[in-house]
Amino acid sequence: MNDTRRAVLDALADGPMSGPELARTLDVSRNAVWKHVEALRESGFEIESTGDGYRLGEIPEFGPAVEYGLDAPFEIEYHDSVGSTNDRAREIAGEGAKRAEEDIEDVVVLADEQVGGRGRLDREWVGPSGGVWSSLVLRPDIPPSHAPLLTLAAAVAVTRTAREAGVPAEIKWPNDVLVNGEKLCGILTEMEGEANRVSWVIVGIGINVNIAGDDLPEGATSVQEQAETVNRRIFVQRLLEEFDELRTAPDKILPAWREYSATLGRRVRVETRNEDVVGDAIDIESPGVLVVDTEDDEVRVHAGDCEHL
């Protein structure tokens, strides 16, 4: 969010303030104040003009307002409706080198409704209004082999945020967030890079938040169904803050993943490209390798579709 707009909101948070007073406090012209107030209104902020000056009403539940009060270095690009946030994120990532040189914040593409959402293995992803459909465009200085850790970090961040909202979420390997076996969130990570360094990583996170049970696909659940309707602005802010904390402390990712895992200790069948691995899931290793005890052997599975038996 533009710094002056943030300053307008901060100033009005303490009570109404007249245009001239705002102009003095922010050291800008009265015309500039008016323009920023108009822009904020367009983003959904309620700013009334009263006899006492501008008065700030309710902060919107979702939308561009997610950036206001966010304690993590992300710029939000919000859409009421979009095809796929991952597709839009790929366009932004394509502007690549230029943005990296400008040293700007990482971008999060966020939408209320997604009409062409993509899941893993080319599956369709249903994204009705009320969800949190988001794609983080990241440019970490890591080799491609470490990128799966970011997916695990996203799963941990979603789980923590859902638990804070009263939803007993767990992680199914590699990165589904479930509640009693029903899907609350799916994560689709895409990346581009060279042998030893990624150019960009997109972490697409789709969470069923304020969606009624009847509007969900078979086998899915939502925060609303499991607990109650939540304020999505605060929900997304907590999610991004948790994710930001984990990516800066990668040693904490695997221990947290183990703590929230629904897979470890379970008998599983993992369909990999070459074979089905059946056995007990006993551990996860960096950057997201599932260790399965098949009785004959300990098999390390890097990728696949996992079924709990």
- Where do contacts with ligand BTN occur on this chain (CB under 6 A)? 84-86, 114, 117-120, 123, 125, 127, 133-135, 176, 186-188, 204-206
Closest CA to 233 of 109, 64, 61: 61
> Hey, what amino acid is at 240?
L
Least distance from ligand BTN to the Cβ atom of residue 85, Å: 4
Least distance from ligand BTN to the Cβ atom of residue 112, Å: 12
The sheet with strand 289-293 has its strands ordered as 298-301, 289-293, 276-285, 267-271, 305-308
- Residue 198 burial (CB count, 10 A): 20
3-state secondary structure of 144: helix
Question: Closer to ligand BTN at the Cβ: 26 or 202?
Answer: 202
Contact 155, 262 (CB under 8 A): no
- Residue 221 burial (CB count, 10 A): 21
Question: Closer to ligand BTN at the Cβ: 5 or 232?
Answer: 232
Question: Closer to ligand BTN at the Cβ: 17 or 111?
Answer: 111
Question: Closer to ligand BTN at the Cβ: 36 or 118?
Answer: 118
Half-sphere exposure of residue 85, counting CA atoms within 13 Å on the CB side?
A: 34
Question: Closer to ligand BTN at the Cβ: 22 or 114?
Answer: 114
| Paired strand residues for 135 | 109, 204
Question: Closer to ligand BTN at the Cβ: 47 or 110?
Answer: 110
Q: How far apart are CA 239 and CA 158, in angstroms?
A: 6
Least distance from ligand BTN to the Cβ atom of residue 247, Å: 18
Question: Closer to ligand BTN at the Cβ: 56 or 284?
Answer: 284
| Ramachandran assignment for 69, one of left (phi > 0), alpha (psi -120 to 50 degrees), beta (any other) | left
Q: Which residues of 180-195 are buried (b: 16+ CB within 10 A; e: fewer)?
A: eebbbbbbbbbbeeee
Least distance from ligand BTN to the Cβ atom of residue 130, Å: 13
Q: What is the DSSP letter of 214?
A: G
